[in-house]
Amino acid sequence: MSAFRKCRTILVGLGTTISGVASFYYFSSDKHIAFNSWTSNYEPSPCARWDDNWDHRAPQYIRNKKTKLSQKDENNNENIEKYTPRVCRHLILIRHGQYNLDGQVDEERYLTKLGRLQAEYTGQRLHDLGMPYTDMVKSTMTRAQETGTIISQFLPNVPVRHCDLLREGAPIPPEPPLGSYRPERHKFFEDGARIEAAFRRYFHRADPSQKEDSYHLVVCHANVIRYLVCRALQIPAEAWLRISLNHASITWITITPGGRCVLRTLGDSGFMPPNAITSS
């Protein structure tokens, strides 16, 4: 085998082995471009580009008091500094525990014995993490109310609020559709607007006046959490049903001062013994 063929064989093998992590570099006279290893002409999809002003609180988009219009003002460094957050907001999303599936109305869909035990494990876990929790907000549905009450036994000094926006529902038609899950179309129209309102209320970067990181506990439901995760990461919201969450699991998202949303934990239930873990 010629030296050229040997070299080519080695390079092809090496490229195959490290294709998951390698990047190929292209040099031109005026720029240096890195292409991902699986293609030589990679360009991000328009829907993959991050929207820096997703919460309408990016400091470079300030309110012009004369025109009353929100507009970009990159030259006014003093105003940008004034509206720039300094700390993070942490959203700790907790699914309720296992509940009575035979209940016909919300009041009958209370936690099972195992569901109460799951909430205790979660309360103990949050206590052991020792974060300076700012507050807890609970869905007004019975199973979330009970889960939050049990968790509060481990965090007695954390103030509690209640919110109808966090009630379970059908946020948006999933893609792809899943089995028999086919709510009536009007449910998406009604529930989707409410759950989106919950996202806008709770997901945003810190106020510039905030001095320390805040830690917000949100006790709600699987569909709500899955939708909120997709929206926070700017993943198409139709993907929400591709995510599975165990009962009383913990999902943790950090919103940085620059507005980036970082998924630190998704559906963590590893602090429970295996025989206590359920999802449906």
- The DSSP symbol for 148 reads H
37-56 in b/e form (b: 16+ CB < 10 A) is: beeeeeeeeeeeeeeeebbe
Establish if 108 belongs to a structural domain. yes
Q: Which one-letter amino acid corresponds to residue 157?
A: N
Do the bridges between strand 32-36 and strand 61-64 make them parallel or antiparallel, or are there none, so unpaired?
unpaired
Q: 82, 100, 125 — which closes off a domain?
A: 82
Q: Are 201 and 114 within one domain?
A: yes
Tens-digit pLDDT profile for the chain (280 aa)? 555 555 555 444 554 444 444 444 444 445 565 555 555 566 667 777 899 999 999 988 765 443 444 555 555 666 788 889 999 999 999 999 999 999 999 999 999 999 999 999 999 999 999 999 999 999 999 999 999 999 999 999 999 999 999 999 999 999 998 877 777 777 888 999 999 999 999 999 999 999 999 999 999 999 999 999 999 999 999 999 999 999 999 999 999 999 999 999 999 999 999 999 999 8
**What total of structural domains would you count in the chain?**
2
Non-local (6+) Cβ contacts of 77 within 8 A are none
Report the C-alpha gap between 245 and 228 in whole angstroms.
Answer: 13
Kindly state whether residues 72 and 139 are assigned to the same domain: no
- What is the pLDDT, as a whole number, of residue 143? 98
* Same structural domain, 65 and 153: no
Residues 138 and 70 placed together within one structural domain of the fold: no
Structure tokens given for 135? 């507050």
Taking the C-alpha atoms of residue 160 and residue 218, their distance in angstroms, rounded to an integer, is 10
CA distance 173 to 189: 10
Residue 23: per-residue pLDDT? 44
pLDDT for res 1:
55
Residue whose pair of structure tokens reads 């998202």 in the numeric block: 253
Tell me, what amino acid is at 81?
A: E
Please indicate, yes or no, if residue 10 is contained in any of the structural domains: no
Q: How many CB atoms lie within 10 A of CB 226?
A: 25
Residue-level pLDDT at 64: 47
DSSP H or E stretch at residue 92: strand 89-95
Give pLDDT, residue 68. 44
The verdict on residue 118 lying in a domain is: yes
From CA 69, how far away is CA 65, in angstroms rounded?
A: 8
CATH of the domain at 150: 3.40.50.1240
Farthest-apart Cα atoms in the chain, separation: 79
**β-strand pairing of 32-36 with 23-27:** antiparallel
**Residues 184, 143 share a domain:** yes
Q: Give the model's pLDDT for residue 187.
A: 85
Residues 155 and 220 occupy one common structural domain: yes
The whole-angstrom separation of Cα 275 and Cα 114 is: 10
57 & 121 share domain: no
- 14 CB-contact burial (10 Å; exposed 0-12 / middle 13-18 / buried 19+): exposed
Q: Which domain holds residue 95?
A: 89-276
Q: Looking at the structure, tell me whether residues 109 and 161 fall in a common domain.
A: yes
Which pair of tokens denotes residue 235? 């993943």
Determine the pLDDT at residue 80: 80
Question: Does 93 share its domain with 75?
Answer: no
- Do the domain assignments include residue 27? no
Cis omega (within 30 of 0) on the bond before 236? no
Domain membership of residue 209 (yes or no) is: yes
Give residue 22's pLDDT.
Answer: 43
pTM of the model as a whole: 0.81
Residues 116 and 74 both lie in one domain: no
164 found inside a domain: yes
Residue 15 lies in a domain: no
Angle, helix 222-233 to helix 185-202, in steps of 10 degrees: 60
111 and 74 in one domain? Answer: no
Amino acid at position 33, single letter: I
